[in-house]
Amino acid sequence: MAKSSAILACIMGCATLLVSLTCHGQSSPTPGVPEKVLPEKVIIDTDIGDDVDDAFALALALRSPELQILGITTTFGDTETRAKLVDRFLAEVGRPEIPVAAGTPTVSKGTFTQRRYAEGGHDAKPSHPDAVSFILEQIRRYPGQVTLIAIGPLMNVGAAIDKDPATFRKLKRVVIMGGSIKRGYGDLGYTPPRPPQPEWNILNDIPSAQKLFASGVPLFVMPLDSTQLKLDEVKRAFLFSQGTPLTDALTLLYHQWGQVTPTLFDPMTIAFLVNPILCPVQPMHTRVDEKGLTRPESGPSNAQVCLDSSPDAFFRLLLPRLAAP
C-alpha cells in the first residue's frame, strides 16, 4: 500500500510539473526560437522625380517587410507634383493606402525628369496634407518609435525642428543620405581619389542640415563615401525584364530619367535599416559648414556615419527583393 501511494504521489507531482511548464511556456518565448520583431515604423522624406534613385529607394522599402511605412512626404521644388508621382507609383504597385504629404514648394535648380509620369496618372489626389504637420503628428502618435528616412534636401526636416523641436526630439532616429566625409562624387574606391564635396541634399538647404546635426536626435548618415552604387547594364537587364507592376514602373521612370547608369545613393538608407551590416557605422562628430561640407571634427559624437559599404552585398539584397513577384 505504501508503495502504491508513493507511485501515485510521483505521478501527481510529474503531472503538476508538466502543467506548470506548459503554462509557463504560453507566457514566455520558447527556448531557441527568436521572438517576432515588429516592423520598424518609418516615414520617407523624398525629392522623387529628379534623379531616379529615390524611386528605387521607395521600391525597396515597399518590398521590405521589416518596415512599416507610415507615410511618404515630398520635399524640394514642385512638391505637389512629386506627391502625385508617389500617388501613381503606390497605386500601380498595389499600395494606395499609404499616406502621401507634400512639403512647402521651393525654387529648384534640378530638372524634374519624371514629370510626365507624375502628370500621367489617374490616381493622384487633388491635394495633399502638409508634410511637416504630418511628420510631427506621426511622432506624437508613436513617440520614440518613428524613424525618419530623409533622402532629399532637408527643408521638411528643418521646418519640423523650427515648428516643434520638442516633438522632433521624440523621433527614434533619423537616417539620411547626405554628406561627403572623405570621398567626393565619382570616387568609386578604385578611381583616383576625389576630395570631399558639398553633397546635393546638404547643399540645397544648409541651415536645415545644420539644425539636424545639432538637434540631438540619433542620426545615421549614409554619405557619398558609401552610396555610389552603380546599377549597371547587366543588373538593369535582369530587373527590367521581370514584368511586374513594380519593375515596370521602375523601367518607365528610368527611361524618363533619360540617362544611362543610375547611381543608387538613396536606397542604401533602406538597405541599412533592413540589414545594418551592409553599411557599418562609426560614431563621429560632424559639422556642416557654411559651404555645405560635412566636416568631421573632434568632440562628442553627434552622428553614426557609414564610410564604406560592399556594392556586391547591397545588390544581393536589392535585386531579389525588387524582382520578386
Could you read off the pLDDT of 9-58 as tens digits, one per residue? 444 444 444 334 344 444 445 556 556 789 999 999 999 999 999 999 99
pLDDT value of residue 37: 82
Q: How many CB atoms lie within 10 A of CB 101?
A: 24
CA-CA distance, 198 to 179, in Å (whole number)?
Answer: 7
Question: 207 CB contacts (<8 Å, ≥6 apart)?
Answer: 158
Confidence at residue 34, expressed as pLDDT on a 0 to 100 scale: 58
User: What is d(CA 163, CA 87) in angstroms, rounded to the nearest whole number?
Assistant: 27
How many other β-carbons are positioned within 10 Å of the β-carbon of residue 122?
7
What pLDDT does residue 101 have? 98
All structural domains of the chain, each given as residue ranges with its CATH number in brackets, are 40-323 (3.90.245.10)
Q: Which helix (H) or strand (E) holds 214?
A: none
301 pLDDT higher than 50: yes
Name the packing angle between helices 267-274 and 53-62 (round to 10°): 20
Would you say residue 263 has pLDDT above 90?
A: yes
Residue 272 has pLDDT above 60, yes or no: yes
Cell match 512638391: residue?
79
Give the DSSP per-residue string, 246-283. Answer: HHHHHHHHHHHH--SS-B--THHHHHHHH-GGGS-EEE
Q: Three cell numbers at 114?
A: 519624371
Residue 103 backbone dihedrals phi, psi, to 5 degrees: -80, 175
- DSSP letter at 37? P
Judged by DSSP in three states, 135 sits in helix
79, 127 contact by CB (below 8 A): no
Residues 92, 249: Cα–Cα separation, whole Å: 7
Distance CA(157)–CA(152), nearest Å, equals 10
pLDDT at 188: 86
What is the pLDDT at residue 196? 97
**26 three-state secondary structure:** helix
pLDDT given for residue 248 in this prediction? 98
User: What cell numbers appear for 317 in the block?
Assistant: 539584397
Q: What is the pLDDT of residues 187-239, one digit of tens each?
A: 988 888 999 999 999 999 999 999 999 999 999 999 999 999 999 999 999 99
Q: Mean pLDDT lowest for which of 8-22, 66-80, 235-249?
A: 8-22
Q: What is the largest CA-CA distance in the chain?
A: 97
Average pLDDT over residues 281-298: 98
For 49, left (φ over 0), alpha (ψ -120 to 50), or beta?
Answer: left
Q: Are 101 and 131 in contact (CB under 8 A)?
A: yes
How does DSSP classify residue 155? H
pLDDT score of 32 = 60
